Each structure stands twice: as C-alpha cells, then as structure tokens.
Amino acid sequence: MAWLYLNGEIIEDKDAAISVDDRGFLLGDGLFETMRAYGGRVFRLNAHLARLRESAEFLRISCDLTDADVGEAISELLERNACPDAYVRLTLTRGPLEKGLRLDGSGRPTVLIRVRPFSPHPDELYKRGARLVLSSVRRNSASDLPRHKTLNYLPCLLAKQGAVDAGAFGAVMLNEYGQVAEESLSNLFIVREGRLATPPVHCGLLPGITRAVVMELAGANDVPCDERVLSPADLFGADECFLTNTLMEIMPVRSLDRRPVGGGKPGPLTVRLQGLYRKAVGR
Ligand code: PMP
C-alpha cells in the first residue's frame, strides 16, 4: 500500500484517478519537479517550487500551491510511506481539456505528489566516474522550452537512450550552434586551471537546482566559477568534469566518446565539492 497526494488529498494509490481528458496526458501540457528527501526533509524545497511557479506562470498554468502546503503534504507522505530518504516527484498539469487548445489558466490544474524510497547509483560509479557520449539530439537555444521542466521529456530520453545503447551513462547535448548545453538529465561543469565553468542558461538548458547550489558553494569557498559558452573541445581539454542533478548530486565524468576527460578519474575539486554538497545537505 502506498499513499500519494492528489489535488489536495492524501489517498491510497489504488484510489487515485486522473481524468482521461487531462492535458498533461493528452498534450504533455504540464510541469514536474524531482526532489530528494534526506531524513524526512526535502533539500531546497523552496528553490524547486520557485522554479515550478516561474514555469507555471510562463505557461499560464494556474498554481496556487504554497511552499507550506507542499512541505506539509510531502512530510505526511514520507511518514505514511515510511521512507524518509526518498525520491519525491510533484507533477502539475493544466488539468482536464476544457477550452480547446488555448493556454488557458482558468481551469482546474492537476497536482500529484508521489514519494518512493531513494535508491542511489552504485558507489563504484562515483569512484570511477561516468562515461559520456556526445549526443546527436540537439537542444534548441532559441526555444524557451529547455529552460522549463515540462512533461515533454522525449528529447532528453532519446539522448539518454543513445548513451545507454552505446554502453555509456549519459549524453552531452549540444545546441544548434554546436555549443555544450547539458547532459541529457543533468547539468555539466568543467574545471580548468582551478576555475569552474558551466554553460549559461541561454545555451538551451534547464537551470538546475543542484547547479545553483554548486555555484553558491563555489562562491562561498573562494572557488572561481564562470558561466560561459563551452565547446566539446573545452570538455576534452578540461582538467575535471562533473554532472549535477538533484538525485545523483555531483557525479564525476571519466570519459567522453571513449576519450579520457581530466585524468580519467574524479578530480580533486570535484571531490571537494562533493564533500561541500554533503555538508550543505546535512545543514
Ligand atoms: N537538466 C535536465 C534536462 C534535467 O532533467 C535535470 C534534472 N531535473 C537537470 C538538468 C538537473 O536539474 P536539478 O539539479 O534541478 O535536478
């Protein structure tokens, strides 16, 4: 038996029902957030909800969820499902199709929150680093959509599948100019001569919450960090490279298209940032 939150109520999953007219289902007309709970509390809940709200405003999906309401619902779910260390997903859709295809914000949005026990990647992967490939799936930097975590995830999934088919962990997605945007499901950083660098959002990427935390930690610890345009050559020439996302935190990269990146193993600044991130989670 599992408990979930649907439209203001905590119910058992077997009792949950979403309209067959829901625009999230029919049109991918919705947003989601993936969060991580540690010891019964979500890390950076407010930042996740701020990103969701900003995107909801852009897409004109009504969203009157308060941080307090969502926080309370998640706490109750973590408790009832007895999983304090959890993957937490909030899905928000425009709700049932009511007014043709307009982006109308006056309908009844659907809000679903689910929690699942968290299962981490193997330690071995963190120790050795992830293998990446360059994807042929492009990010469109002229589009607003990569900046929002919409339900249209197929470009990311196609890129990720390309990596899996090639025996790799992840796929670096370039934009239409051949500049690095992000990995299929995470943001990307390099280290070069002691400086961190990550592509700016206008390159066509999701402004990750973990990316922001890493930039904040760098600032607080006198590590210079630039948002700058990166080319694949910058990745091949990097001293270190790592990926960030909420679930995996900071994942070192060991190779790109089978060529070693950095020393082909986690670099010292990557390891230091992993420690700083863990400390921030602990606080
Ligand atoms: N880019 C993409 C395409 C993603 O799916 C994710 C995961 N949400 C990220 C970056 C990292 O974002 P966050 O740090 O907020 O998990």
Q: In this model, does residue 260 exceed pLDDT 90?
A: yes
Q: Strand, helix or coil at 219?
A: helix
Q: What is the distance in A from the centroid of ligand 1 to the CA of 188?
A: 10
Same domain, 136 and 243: yes
| pLDDT reported for residue 263 | 87
Kindly state whether residues 130 and 158 are assigned to the same domain.
yes
Question: How far is Cα 211 from Cα 188, in angstroms, rounded to an integer?
Answer: 8
For residue 104, the model assigns a pLDDT of 83
Hey, what are 266's tokens?
Answer: 């986690």
* 215 in Cβ contact with 198 (< 8 Å): yes
Q: Provide the pLDDT for residue 97.
A: 81
pLDDT digits (tens, 9 = 90+) for 133-192: 999 999 999 999 999 999 999 999 999 999 999 999 999 999 999 999 999 999 999 999
Q: How far away, in angstroms, is 136 Cα from ligand 1 center?
A: 19
Average pLDDT, the chain: 96
Say whether both 10 and 28 belong to one domain: yes
DSSP code, position 249: E
Strands 180-183 and 86-93: unpaired
Q: Whose CA is nearest to atom 13 of ligand 1?
A: 208
Residues 72 and 188 in one domain: no
Cα(185) to ligand 1 centroid in Å equals 5
Residue 107: predicted pLDDT: 84
* Ligand 1 centroid, distance to 172 Cα (angstroms): 13
Q: Are residues 132 and 77 in the same domain?
A: no
**What is the 183 CA–ligand 1 centroid distance (Å)?**
9
Atom of ligand 1 nearest to the CA of 212: 14
Last residue of a domain, one of 76, 94, 117: 117
| 274 and 161 in a common domain | yes
CB 234 within 8 A of CB 226: no
Mutate to test the pocket of ligand 1, among 173, 183, 206 (most ligand atoms within 8 A of CB): 206
User: What is the Å distance from ligand 1's center to 129 Cα?
Assistant: 18
Q: What is the DSSP letter of 44?
A: T
pLDDT at 1: 84
Average pLDDT on 249-273 reads: 96
Asked if residue 254 lies in contact with residue 124, where contact means CB atoms within 8 angstroms, the answer is no
CA of 100 to the centre of ligand 1 (A): 31
Point out the domain boundary residue: 98, 117, 136. 117
Nearest CA owner, ligand 1 atom 9? 186
- 208 CB less than 6 Å from ligand 1? yes
- What is the C-alpha to C-alpha distance for residues 266 and 260, in angstroms, rounded to an integer? 11
Do 42 and 106 sit in the same domain of this protein?
A: yes
CB of residue 141 inside a 6 A radius of ligand 1: no
Write down the pLDDT at residue 208.
Answer: 98
Q: Is the CB of 34 under 6 A from ligand 1?
A: yes
- Of 48, 83, 117, the residue at which a domain comes to its end is 117
What confidence category does residue 75 fall into, taking pLDDT thresholds of 50, 70 and 90?
A: very high
Q: Looking at residue 87, what is its pLDDT?
A: 98
Q: Are residues 199 and 67 in the same domain?
A: no
Question: Which of helix, strand or coil describes residue 94?
Answer: coil
Rg of the Cα atoms in the chain: 19
Report whether 10 contacts 55 (CB < 8 A): no
pLDDT at 101 over 90: no
Contacts of 21 (CB under 8 A, 6+ apart): 96, 97
CATH number at 32 reads: 3.30.470.10
**What is the number of domains present in the chain?**
2
**Are residue 66 and residue 188 in the same domain, yes or no?**
no
The CATH number for 241's domain is 3.20.10.10
Domain co-membership, 74 together with 89: yes
Residue 138 CB neighbour total at 10 angstroms: 16
Residue 24 and residue 151 in contact, taking contact as beta carbons nearer than 8 Å: yes
Name the residue range of residue 63's domain: 3-117
